[in-house]
């Protein structure tokens, strides 16, 4: 049985599944139930400065994108940081940590970009017994307009500065939560590292308008006839998050910086993918908000079964395992030739591969009168679109053409040696280098 | 358990009214919006979709389902009705299990097709509930066309002609329109007077005048129609029924299944409709099933459908056969009637077993007798008397692939004409296609 125990920055938790700082972790009641349901840790919903708490809108806070059967694919929110008094949160955190010493409890913090504010609050929160801090430099709505959240996260110098203040104020691990609403994730990640961060967590939500109410002509969620951009999360953002995690993991400047992976983790497989790309653990929010805390049980059983099947005994053996295989386009092997293969046995004859290829790609699939679909090897560029649009899992696959065999499309045998764009004759740079 | 009247013979009120009402509720109840969206989500929007090819009226099924899925059932209805103006009835009575749904790729994939019929009903019912009609008439052409028969073929033809700007007069032999939709379909497939509501809705396009209780040989002659109108469409269906040709066929309580089905549809109170305690139905088509199942639902204790060939040869679909068996109707195959028993009134029917030998059906010596106090014959219908000017083929009015008969300026479609599968949907397709050819002919000539 694989050991799912997680030790992230020295913070131990029974498994690598943490609840992200968000509505599910806003109060003691929720967090106790989450721990009982099996979550390994929580990042408590972001605490703000002492004084009158922020207020939230009193209309809808969420908008959504649905797939077939109203499956929730993307969620957008305009909720702010905790709207409960700081003192109440601190008391509750203290009680929870005392009762769950083996579970991770991280405090998410967002206060104005002034040294005094951070120096004042960090030690105070540390008294709760929490295991570390997560600096919320990510929220793209509401708080950013007040100079906090992503307004900090979009300026690397601020990230470095605030991180340094916090590191100086505590011995506990400091995680910097990054916003994806930037052009290059490496800049804020590097800044966090330079400021002394123990880890980064990403991604926070993506600026978004999920839909427009066409009767009222207003973005949703609509508050009294008006809407605003909110933070997008859920399964739809996972590909964006995976890329950003991978970039930080493979970039020489940030390689080795621990990462807490966030962004659409819904199943054990999503978690395994984040970890393979370098995340030391994962944080989850939308899946819990969609299905309740119980979903973690599938994540635990699934990850455990997969690790057993693969022969991994601890999650450390999984973390970063795919990072060496993330490369730049120019290093991909141009001599690797594949062709689509349609299993006639599995084919249900819907013709979607044909429509996709014929109308929008390479006219490389034929259709007979009796709806038999076949790949034309002399046209197939192996784009994979047919695989992606086929409704039957595994019906269309890509077959690697062995070196020496003929590529019907080019009329040339497949070369055995690896060759990429950097040495390709069509590449002006490669010609210049000769 | 509710009261059951087990009196021998043929009697009304065998079940209490609540039970009867419950028995005759909608076979496939209408989807609510959520159910429709869930069902629509299952459609893969296939390329050159097999369902569309299988539909005799070639409805663009993937398109209308996508229109439902995107919250525009009204647009979906228009997609359906453009091809099939009786799409509402077809959604209820089409044997979808042998047409569109049989070839649905999800039938191939999971053995569970997209429920196309019910989705079609959702779309068409939405439009009918709003009482909107998505089509308007073109400018008047000044041409007039006579349509004989207000059944599916005639109505489909009349609507299309009216839409194209022609004036249409429909002659209907009965006092009520709808044809088999009104008189020939099991009550649980067309509830709440749907056939009449659909007829009224169809006529709301305007330009169609229906004259009831008039038909060929009943105040109207083909010659007169040919001279009074620019074109004639015949869609009067099959008005005669086949007989067994056996002694005793004239006994009390031996009748045609189509008559029973029509009486049942026209009855205002089903508990007043008499039915036998033991009922035998002879035949293997939809009429036999509709009669047998409804006799059972009215409270007959034993209902047996007897078919002379093997089960695989039954014209009734597998779904219909299953339905009959679910309702407690017994199917006996490979048996042919050889005697109608009873001294005065019917007491039973004697059958001989049959067997197919060298491709021919052979009657064997062994016989058995089913006790019966009511016998329904469902062994097919045939064309009534037709004017000599019309050439026949296999007992039906011969038509070419544009529905033209041998008589100049006369088109025909539906059950009275050759081609088609004696289905509502094929009749609608033929009526529509005839209208298009009539239009082309009339406008080309002007």
A373 touches chain B (CB under 8 A): no
Please check whether residue B63 touches A, CB under 8 A.
Answer: no
Is residue A206 within 8 Å of residue A238, measured between CB atoms?
Answer: no
Q: Mind telling me how many Å the CA of B39 is from chain A's nearest CA?
A: 9
What is the average per-residue pLDDT within A308-318? 96
Walk me through the domains of chain B, giving residue ranges and CATH numbers: 33-130 (1.10.1060.10), 144-239+383-445 (3.50.50.60), 241-377 (3.50.50.60)
Of the residues A348, A356, A365, the best mutation for testing chain B's interface (the one with the most B CB atoms within 10 Å of its CB) is: A348
Whether A126 has a pLDDT exceeding 50, the answer reads yes
CB contact under 8 A, A351 and B48: yes
Tens-place pLDDT, residues B370-390: 999 999 999 999 999 999 999
pLDDT at residue B107, as a whole number: 96
- In angstroms, the separation between the Cα of residue B108 and the nearest Cα of chain A is 6
Distance set, CA A4 to CA A307, B63, B443 (Å): 9, 49, 80
CB contact under 8 A, B48 and A350: no
Beta carbons of A355 and B47 less than 8 Å apart: yes
Looking at the complex, does the CB of residue B44 fall below 8 Å from at least one CB of chain A?
yes
Mean pLDDT over A108-125 rounds to: 96
Please, what is the average pLDDT of chain A?
A: 96
Confidence of residue B155 (pLDDT cuts 50, 70, 90): very high
Verify whether the Cβ–Cβ distance B46 to A351 is below 8 Å. yes
Preferred mutation among A350, A357, A385 to probe B, highest tally of B CBs within 10 A: A350
Query: Do the Cβ atoms of B164 and B141 come closer than 8 Å?
Result: yes
For chain A, which residues make up each domain, given as ranges? Answer: 6-325, 329-433
Is there a contact between B236 and B215 (Cβ–Cβ < 8 Å)? yes
What CA–CA distance (Å, rounded) separates B41 from B69? 6
Residues of A in contact with B48 (CB under 8 A): 351, 367, 371
B47/A348 touch (CB, cutoff 8 Å), yes or no = no
CATH number of A6-325: 3.20.20.70
Using an 8 Å CB-CB cutoff, list chain A residues near B108: 348-349
Distance CA(B419)–CA(B437), nearest Å, equals 17
Is residue B446 within 8 A of residue B268, CB to CB? The reply is no
Q: Does A351 touch chain B (CB under 8 A)?
A: yes
Element (H, E) at B17: helix B17-23
* Sheet of strand A206-208, all strands in order from the earlier edge strand to the far edge: A62-66, A72-77, A230-233, A206-208
pLDDT tens for each residue of B69-88: 999 999 999 999 999 999 99
B11 interface with A at CB cutoff 8 Å: no
Q: How many interchain CB pairs under 8 A, A with B?
A: 34
- CB under 8 Å to A35, separation ≥6 — which residues? A42, A96, A100, A103
Among candidate residues A222, A274, A228, the one with its CA nearest the CA of residue A248: A274
Half-sphere exposure of A287 toward its Cβ, with a 13 Å CA cutoff?
28
| Residue B367 half-sphere exposure toward CB, CA atoms < 13 A | 13
Count of C-beta atoms within a 10 Å radius of residue A239: 11
Report the distance separating Cα B100 and Cα B60, nearest Å: 11
Contact B143, B442 (CB under 8 A): yes
Range A343-366 average pLDDT: 97
Which chain A positions have a beta carbon within 8 Å of B45's beta carbon?
A: 352
Residue B414 DSSP one-character state: G
For A348, which of B42, B48, B109 is closest by C-beta distance?
A: B109
A366 near B CB under 8 A: no
Beta-carbon neighbour count of residue A191 at 10 Å?
24
Residue A68 contacts B where some CB pair is shorter than 8 Å? yes
Count CB neighbours of A265 within 10 A: 30
pLDDT at A143 over 90: no
A329-433 fold: Alpha-Beta Plaits (3.30.70)
Alpha carbon distances (Å) from A95 to A11, A27, A81, A107, A131: 18, 11, 21, 14, 14
Burial of A226 (0-12, 13-18, 19+ CB in 10 A): exposed
Flag whether residue B204 sits within 8 Å of chain A, measured between CB atoms.
no
pLDDT band at B446 (very low <50, low <70, confident <90, very high): very low
Closest CB to B105 among A70, A348, A354: A348
- The C-alpha torsion from A235 through A240 and A243 to A248, rounded to 10°, is -110
Closest-approach residue (CA) in chain B for A66: B41
Closest-CA residue of chain B to A395: B109
Distance, CA of A249 to CA of A252 (rounded, Å): 8
Question: Considering Cα of A213, then A218, then A222, then A223, what sign does the dihedral take?
Answer: negative
| pLDDT at residue A431, as a whole number | 57
For residue B445, the model assigns a pLDDT of 56
C-alpha distances in angstroms, B33 versus A239, B38, B69? 33, 9, 10
Beta strands in B149-212 (DSSP E): 167-172, 208-212
Give the distance from residue B2's alpha carbon to the nearest chain A alpha carbon, in angstroms: 41
Structure tokens at B269: 């109170």
- Does A389 lie at the interface with B, CB-CB under 8 angstroms? no
**Residue contact A352–B44, C-beta within 8 A:** yes
Which of B36, B44, B50, B52 to probe the A interface (max A CBs under 10 A)? B44
DSSP classification of residue A117: H
From the DSSP assignment, how many helices (H) and strands (E) are in chain B? 17, 21
Cβ–Cβ < 8 Å for A349, B50: yes
Q: Which of B41, B44, B105 sits opposite A69 (nearest CB)?
A: B41
pLDDT at A433: 47
Band (A434; pLDDT cuts 50, 70, 90): very low
For B34, nearest residue in chain A (alpha carbons):
A69
Compute the distance between CA of residue A379 and CA of residue A395 in angstroms, rounded to an integer: 20
Percent of chain B with pLDDT over 70: 99
Q: Which residues of A touch B104 (CB under 8 A)?
A: none
What's the confidence (pLDDT) of residue B3?
76
- Crossing angle between the packed helical segments B194-203 and B116-130, to the nearest 10 degrees: 60
Higher pLDDT, B2 or B4: B4
Confidence (pLDDT) at B2:
63
Q: Does A354 touch chain B (CB under 8 A)?
A: yes
Share the mean pLDDT of chain B.
95
Task: Specify the range with the lowest mean pLDDT, choosing from A130-144, A325-339, B45-59.
Answer: A130-144
Whole-number Å distance between alpha carbons of A144 and A148: 5
Given an 8 Å threshold on Cβ–Cβ distance, is B47 in contact with A68? no
pLDDT in tens, B97-137: 999 999 999 999 999 999 999 999 999 999 999 999 999 99
Token pair for A413:
């045998």
Contact B48 A348 (CB under 8 A): no
Give the CA-trace dihedral at B244, B247, B253, B256, to 10 degrees. 20
pLDDT tens digits, residue range A364-373? 999 999 999 9
DSSP three-state, residue B400: coil
Closest CA of chain B from A390, distance in Å: 10
Q: Do B44 and A68 touch (CB under 8 A)?
A: no
Q: Is the pLDDT of residue A85 over 90?
A: yes
Distance CA(A113)–CA(A158), nearest Å, equals: 8
Give B249-268 pLDDT, tens digit per residue. Answer: 999 999 999 999 999 999 99
**B133 vs chain A: nearest CA distance in angstroms?**
24
Question: Catalytic amino acids of A?
Answer: 139
Q: Tell me the whole-structure pTM to 2 decimals.
A: 0.90
Asked whether the beta carbons of residue A355 and residue B38 sit closer than 8 angstroms, the reply is no
- The residue of chain A nearest to residue B69, with distances taken between CA atoms, is A68
To the nearest whole angstrom, how far is the Cα of B437 from the nearest Cα of chain A? 28
Residues of A with Cβ-Cβ distance to B44 under 8 angstroms: 350, 352, 391
CB–CB of B47 and A351 under 8 A?
yes
Tell whether A355 lies on the interface with B, counting CB pairs under 8 A.
yes
Are A392 and B46 an interchain contact pair (Cβ–Cβ within 8 Å)? no
Q: Which of residues 170-209 of A touch B (CB under 8 A)?
A: none
Indicate whether A256 pLDDT > 70. yes
């Amino acid at each position: 049985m694989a050991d799912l125990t997680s030790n992230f920055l020295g913070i131990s938790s029974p498994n690598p599944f943490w609840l992200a700082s968000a509505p599910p972790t806003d109060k003691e009641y929720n967090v106790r139930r989450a721990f009982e349901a099996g979550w390994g840790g929580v990042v408590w919903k972001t605490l703000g400065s002492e004084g009158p708490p922020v207020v939230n809108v009193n209309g809808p806070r969420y908008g959504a994108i649905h797939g077939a059967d109203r499956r929730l694919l993307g969620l957008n929110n305009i909720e702010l940081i905790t709207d409960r008094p700081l003192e109440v949160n601190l008391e509750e955190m203290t009680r929870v940590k005392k009762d769950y010493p083996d579970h991770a409890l991280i405090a998410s913090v967002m206060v104005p970009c002034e040294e005094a504010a951070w120096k004042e609050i960090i030690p105070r929160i540390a008294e709760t017994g929490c295991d570390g801090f997560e600096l919320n430099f990510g929220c793209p709505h509401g708080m950013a307009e007040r100079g906090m959240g992503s307004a900090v996260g979009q300026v690397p110098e601020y990230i470095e500065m605030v991180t340094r203040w916090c590191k100086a104020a505590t011995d506990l691990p400091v995680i910097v939560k990054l916003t994806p609403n930037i052009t290059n994730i490496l800049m804020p990640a590097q800044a966090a590292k330079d400021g002394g961060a123990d880890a980064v967590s990403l991604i926070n939500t993506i600026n978004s308008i999920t839909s427009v109410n066409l009767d009222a002509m207003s973005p949703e969620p609509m508050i009294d006839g008006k809407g605003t951009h909110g933070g997008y999360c859920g399964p739809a953002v996972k590909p964006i998050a995976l890329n950003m995690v991978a970039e930080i993991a493979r970039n020489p400047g940030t390689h080795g910086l621990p990462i807490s992976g966030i962004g659409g983790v819904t199943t054990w497989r999503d978690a395994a993918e984040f970890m393979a790309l370098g995340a030391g653990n994962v944080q989850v929010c939308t899946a819990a908000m969609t299905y309740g805390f119980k979903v973690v049980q599938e994540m635990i059983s699934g990850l455990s079964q997969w690790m057993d099947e693969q022969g991994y005994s601890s999650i450390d053996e999984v973390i970063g395992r795919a990072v060496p295989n993330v490369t730049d386009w120019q290093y991909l092997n141009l001599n690797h030739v594949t062709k689509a293969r349609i299993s006639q046995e599995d084919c249900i004859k819907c013709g979607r591969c044909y429509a996709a290829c014929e109308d929008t790609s390479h006219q490389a699939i034929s259709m007979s009168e009796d709806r038999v679909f076949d790949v034309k090897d002399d046209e197939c560029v192996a784009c994979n679109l047919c695989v992606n649009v086929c409704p039957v899992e595994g019906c269309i696959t890509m077959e690697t053409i062995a070196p020496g065999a003929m590529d019907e499309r080019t009329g040339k045998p497949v070369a055995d040696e690896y060759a990429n764009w950097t040495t390709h004759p069509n590449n002006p740079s490669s010609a210049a280098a000769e | 358990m509710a009261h059951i009247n087990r009196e021998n013979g043929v009697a009304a009120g065998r079940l209490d009214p609540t039970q009867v009402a419950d028995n005759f509720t909608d076979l496939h109840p209408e989807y609510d919006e959520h159910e429709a969206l869930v069902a629509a989500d299952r459609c893969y929007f296939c390329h050159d979709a097999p369902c569309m090819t299988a539909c005799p009226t070639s409805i663009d099924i993937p398109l209308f389902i996508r229109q439902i899925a995107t919250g525009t059932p009204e647009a979906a209805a228009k997609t359906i009705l453009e091809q099939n103006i009786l799409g509402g009835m077809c959604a209820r009575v089409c044997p979808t299990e042998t047409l569109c749904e049989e070839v649905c790729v999800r039938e191939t994939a999971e053995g569970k097709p997209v429920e196309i019929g019910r989705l079609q009903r959702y779309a068409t019912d939405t439009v009918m509930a709003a009482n909107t009609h998505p089509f308007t008439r073109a400018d008047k052409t000044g041409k007039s066309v006579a349509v004989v028969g207000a059944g599916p073929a005639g109505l489909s033809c009349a609507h299309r002609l009216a839409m194209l700007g022609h004036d249409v007069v429909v002659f209907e032999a009965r006092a009520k329109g709808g044809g088999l939709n009104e008189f020939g379909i099991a009550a649980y497939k067309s509830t709440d007077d749907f056939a009449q509501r659909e007829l009224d809705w169809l006529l709301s396009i305007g330009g169609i005048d229906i004259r009831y209780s008039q038909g060929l040989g009943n105040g109207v002659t083909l010659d007169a129609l040919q001279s009074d109108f620019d074109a004639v469409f015949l869609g009067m269906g099959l008005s005669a029924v086949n007989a067994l040709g056996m002694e005793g066929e004239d006994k009390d309580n031996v009748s045609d299944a189509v008559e029973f089905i029509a009486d049942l549809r026209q009855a205002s109170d089903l508990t007043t409709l008499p039915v036998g305690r033991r009922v035998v139905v002879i035949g293997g088509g939809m009429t036999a099933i509709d009669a047998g199942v409804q006799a059972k639902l009215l409270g007959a204790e034993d209902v047996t459908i007897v078919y002379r060939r093997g089960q695989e040869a039954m014209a009734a679909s597998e779904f219909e056969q299953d339905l009959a068996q679910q309702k407690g109707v017994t199917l006996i195959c490979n048996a042919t009637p050889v005697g109608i028993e009873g001294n005065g009134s019917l007491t039973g029917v004697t059958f001989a077993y049959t067997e197919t030998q060298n491709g021919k059906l052979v009657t064997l010596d062994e016989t058995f007798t089913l006790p019966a106090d009511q016998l329904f014959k469902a062994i097919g219908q045939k064309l009534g008397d037709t004017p000599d000017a019309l050439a026949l083929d296999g007992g039906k009015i011969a038509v070419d692939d544009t529905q033209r008969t041998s008589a100049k300026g006369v088109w025909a479609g539906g059950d009275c004409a050759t081609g088609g599968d004696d289905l509502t949907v094929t009749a609608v397709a033929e009526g529509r296609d005839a209208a298009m050819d009539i239009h082309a002919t009339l406008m080309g000539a002007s």
